[in-house]
Structures are given as C-alpha cells and as structure tokens.
C-alpha cells in the first residue's frame, strides 16, 4: 500500500492507495499533519512506501516524520518521469504539474491531452501525442481573483464564489462575481479552443478544487476528475521504485 501526500498552499491532502485503488482520502491543516500521519499508519499498517508533492510550505521536520514509518520519495525535478520533459526550466516546474502530466500519460498514452488544474492558481499543461510535455500556462484561480480585488482596492468586499443568473451585474457584488466567474469561464473555453485548433483529437481533463463548480461552465467535452493529481503521484511513486 502507498501513502500519497499532496501538500498544497492551504492544506495537505492524504490518500492511501491499494495498488491503483484509493481506499482512504482526507484533507488536514498543516498543523495537524504529524498526528494525522501517525494515525494513518496505525489504521493502515501495510503502507510501506510514500511520496510527497510539496508545493506549499510544509517543513522538513514534518516531512521527516513520514520517513520514520516507511520509504519516502520527495518529488522533485530530479525524479524519474515516464514522458519526455521539454520544459525549458525543469527545476522551476511545480512538482504538482509533473504529477498531473504523469496521470495524463497513464490515462491515455500517445495522445494529445490538455490538463487544467483549477486550484489556488489555474494551470494548463500540455502533453502531446509523442508523449512530450510542452508546458502550458498559469493564471490566478477564482479565490485569488476575489482576494486581489479586495486587497488592492479600498472598498471592494471579499466575496466567495456563487452561482449567477446573469452576466450583467446589477450591484457591486454581482459585478465582481460576473467579472471573476465569467472571466474564468471565457478564459477556460478560449484556451481550450486555442489548443483544439493546434492539436488533433485533443482530450481535456479538468481537475483541482474548483472542478465541480467549473465543469458545467465549460462548453467543450472534458473529463472532470478531482483526484487526478493523487493518481499521478501514485503512478510516480511506483515508477520511481524501480
């Protein structure tokens, strides 16, 4: 069994895999990480390997706790990947993006796949039909856009995303909602259109914290999988065991 750790910007996701099946998943705050890990090893004593993707600020002291219980692989640009990485600056590439591209490779090798991860930031990653990772784009996520408007102005409030009936806002709050939500919707659909015009038989995968909210806003045919990153990390752990 494998322990998969996705340490993001705001929380840590923990998952237990039995081969390719997720048998347990939970999200904890960084301060609860050590106690949660200890509890997991009591609950799943057959776990003998772990991988961590640390894009947040989880400390080395906390990470070392995992290595007490099992073999631990810390994902980095030096980790082995099953595809050709043509990113110009691989050392600056987020390890979460490596995991997403790996999941895309194993889901459908030798095909054109665009992975959109809608989290704190929205990332776009392109794997072509030669199994070559080309790169993509990074833009602010939904909550980051709301936060920026609140923090960079004197009077705009901090809002949470909500469903809208009309793109024409009839109040300041509705105008903000419209700007963020329709802005993201048009961005997603526009970028997918761009990639569709260049890559034949493009598969689009949407994942990340805002997957469910955004999936109904995308006009193109997509596959929504909120656990895509965890699956990619599990594949990478297995790939780096050999």
Task: For residue 159, give both structure tokens.
Answer: 């809002």
Q: Do 60 and 145 belong to one domain? A: no
pLDDT in tens, 181-221: 999 999 999 999 999 999 999 999 999 989 989 998 898 88
Q: What is the DSSP string of 2-51?
A: EEEEEE-SS-EEEEEEETTEEEEEEEE-GGGHHHHHHHHHHH-TT--EEE
Specify the residue for token string 């045919």: 221
Hey, how many other C-beta atoms are within 10 angstroms of the C-beta on 155?
Answer: 6
| CATH number of the domain where residue 60 is located | 3.30.420.40
Are residues 214 and 115 part of one domain? yes
Domain count, the chain: 2
Q: Do 104 and 39 lie in a common domain?
A: no
Same domain? 98 vs 7 = no
Do 68 and 88 fall within a single domain? Answer: no
96 noted as active-site residue: yes
Q: Which one from 61, 96, 129, 166 is the annotated catalytic residue?
A: 96
CA–CA separation, 202 and 215 (whole Å): 17
Domain endpoint, select from 74, 95, 122: 74
**Model pTM score:** 0.93
Question: What is the predicted pLDDT for the residue at 165?
Answer: 87
* Residue-wise pLDDT tens digits, 67-119: 999 999 999 999 999 999 999 999 999 999 999 999 999 999 999 999 999 99
Domain boundary among 50, 74, 98: 74
- Residues 12, 58: Cα–Cα separation, whole Å: 9
């Amino acid at each position: 069994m494998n322990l998969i750790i996705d340490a993001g910007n705001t929380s840590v996701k923990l998952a237990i895999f039995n081969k390719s099946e997720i048998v347990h998943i939970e999200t904890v705050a960084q301060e609860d990480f050590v106690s949660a890990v200890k509890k997991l090893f009591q609950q799943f004593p057959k776990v003998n390997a772990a991988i961590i993707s640390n894009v947040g600020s989880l400390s080395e002291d906390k990470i070392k706790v995992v290595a007490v219980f099992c073999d631990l692989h810390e994902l980095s640009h030096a980790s082995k990947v099953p595809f050709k990485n043509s990113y110009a600056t691989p050392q600056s590439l987020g390890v979460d993006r490596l995991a997403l591209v790996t999941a895309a490779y194993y889901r459908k090798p030798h095909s054109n796949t665009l992975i959109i991860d809608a989290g704190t930031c929205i990332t776009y990653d392109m794997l072509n039909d030669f199994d070559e990772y080309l790169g993509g784009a990074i833009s602010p996520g939904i909550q980051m856009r709301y936060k920026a408007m609140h923090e960079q102005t004197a009077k705009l409030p901090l809002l949470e995303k909500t469903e809208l009936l009309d793109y024409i806002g009839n109040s300041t709050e509705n105008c903000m909602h419209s700007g963020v939500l329709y802005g993201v919707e048009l961005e997603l659909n526009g970028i997918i259109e761009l990639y569709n015009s260049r890559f034949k038989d493009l598969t689009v995968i949407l994942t990340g914290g805002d997957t469910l909210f955004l999936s109904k806003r995308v006009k193109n045919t997509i596959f929504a999988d909120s656990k895509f990153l965890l699956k990619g990390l599990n594949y990478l752990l297995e790939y780096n065991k050999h």
